[in-house]
Amino acid sequence: MAQPGLQHEDGIIKVHGWRENIVNSAVVLCMGENGLGVTRSLGRRGIDVVGVDHQKSAPAFSSRFCKKKLLVTNPQMHPEECLRQLLTIAEHQDNKAVLIPTADYYVSFISRFRDQLQRHFYFNIPNTDVLNMLVDKNSQYTMAQKLGIPVPKTIAPRSISHLLQEQKSLSYPVLIKGACADEWARHFPNKAFMASTPHELTKYFELAESNGIRVVVQEIVAGPNTNHIEINAYYSKRKELLALFCTEKTRQFPVDFGVGTYLTSLNNQSLIEIALTFFEGIGYSGVGNIEFKKDNRDSTFKLIELNPRIWQQNAQAARAGVDFAYINYLDCIGEQISPSLQFTENICYLDIFHDIRSFLGSRQGKGRSIFQWIKLAFRADCYAYIAWDDPGPALKYTMYLIMKAVRKLMNKKNAKGENSV
């Protein structure tokens, strides 16, 4: 007999047809591109996936592998209410579900309510001390240096006078970004600002300071996008390494400082060893993503950041033979797992919707036609949105882009009409 569906009149939670005696559902927190890869990986293995997000338009909600959809309040704005909603759902399950956070703010949410959530759910994230250190970029870079891992020249100015004193040691251009990514993302859509002069740096610092955001200022690592390499690992709660994957960026969007849109798996053993030194040196558990970039000035790979969650292109690792979402799920429910530390090289991942813009806006696209990019697109082994057994997310995102373009065109037309009056 099915449990009665939950229906809140305010439309926040909608759950229908919850089955009794369900065996360990997976609750995917944040149904963006990261969550879409996780949803497909687990759904294809017959695991019931419950998608959770505060945005109705989240693309993974359109996946046929998302069996139940939970629209909750924003965990950053109303964390207690979001907790209440999750716990209400947990009361209607016979078995604990597995929580898999796919965004930084959901990792912080789980950490904040760790005691309440672990009574009803399984999950594996870093312990509170490790997570607090990683969330603060300055603390993360300091720890990396203690472990002998190179980082770009970085300062953490506390005031404008401190900035003016410390910036003399920097070489321009520099990046200014949030010490805490969550705080920064609430105010700015971009990952960072680039300052080419002390005047620009001061302007951006004052803008961040006016919004109450702590920042770090960092020298830019010289080199093309292909100098970016990401190492991904999964450690059990017992700190055992169970999954490993390495990939190289070819392009990203935005072009200079963005998210990878075209990546190829490769085995860079020396860099993997450096990454594992960091993971194991801080006693890491859960999924982690470390990005490095080689500095052309001294040929040294330098740490960009460690993200304590599953990364956007996790479908690429699954296609290469290391299914992080499934390994995470099995480990959380107590299954014995053989480590999956070998992967197929030269597996290409493509985010079609953003890579075309990156290709045309980068040096690689200069003098090359759209037809050359199409040839590259067909060589990819897996895609961000497109999956032949799950067309919904790609169709929905295509419609979103079309409507966005139409609105932009209409706004321009209206603005032109007003100016002509």
DSSP per-residue letters across 267-293? --HHHHHHHHHHHHHTT--EEEEEEEE
Section 316-345 average pLDDT: 96
pLDDT at 219 over 50: yes
User: What does the mean pLDDT of the chain come to?
Assistant: 88
Number of domains in the chain: 3
pTM of the model: 0.87
Q: What amino acid is encoded at 329 in this protein?
A: Y
Domain CATH number, residue 63: 3.40.50.720
Indicate if 337 and 374 belong to the same structural domain.
yes
Structural domain of 116: 6-123
pLDDT at 13 over 80: no
Residue 340 carries which DSSP code? B
Indicate if 27 and 104 belong to the same structural domain.
yes
At 167 the three-state DSSP class reads helix
pLDDT at 20 over 90: no
Indicate if 176 and 280 belong to the same structural domain.
no
Of 285-289, 302-306, 323-327, 365-369, minimum mean pLDDT range:
365-369
Indicate if 375 and 238 belong to the same structural domain.
yes
Measure the CA–CA gap between 397 and 351, rounded to whole angstroms: 12
Q: Is 188 exposed, middle or buried (0-12, 13-18, 19+ CB in 10 A)?
A: middle
Indicate if 75 and 177 belong to the same structural domain.
no
Domain CATH number, residue 176: 3.30.1490.20
pLDDT at 132 over 90: yes
Give the pLDDT score at 11.
Answer: 31
Q: Is residue 390 part of a domain?
A: no
Indicate if 99 and 211 belong to the same structural domain.
no
Q: Which residues pair with 28 in a beta bridge?
A: 51, 100
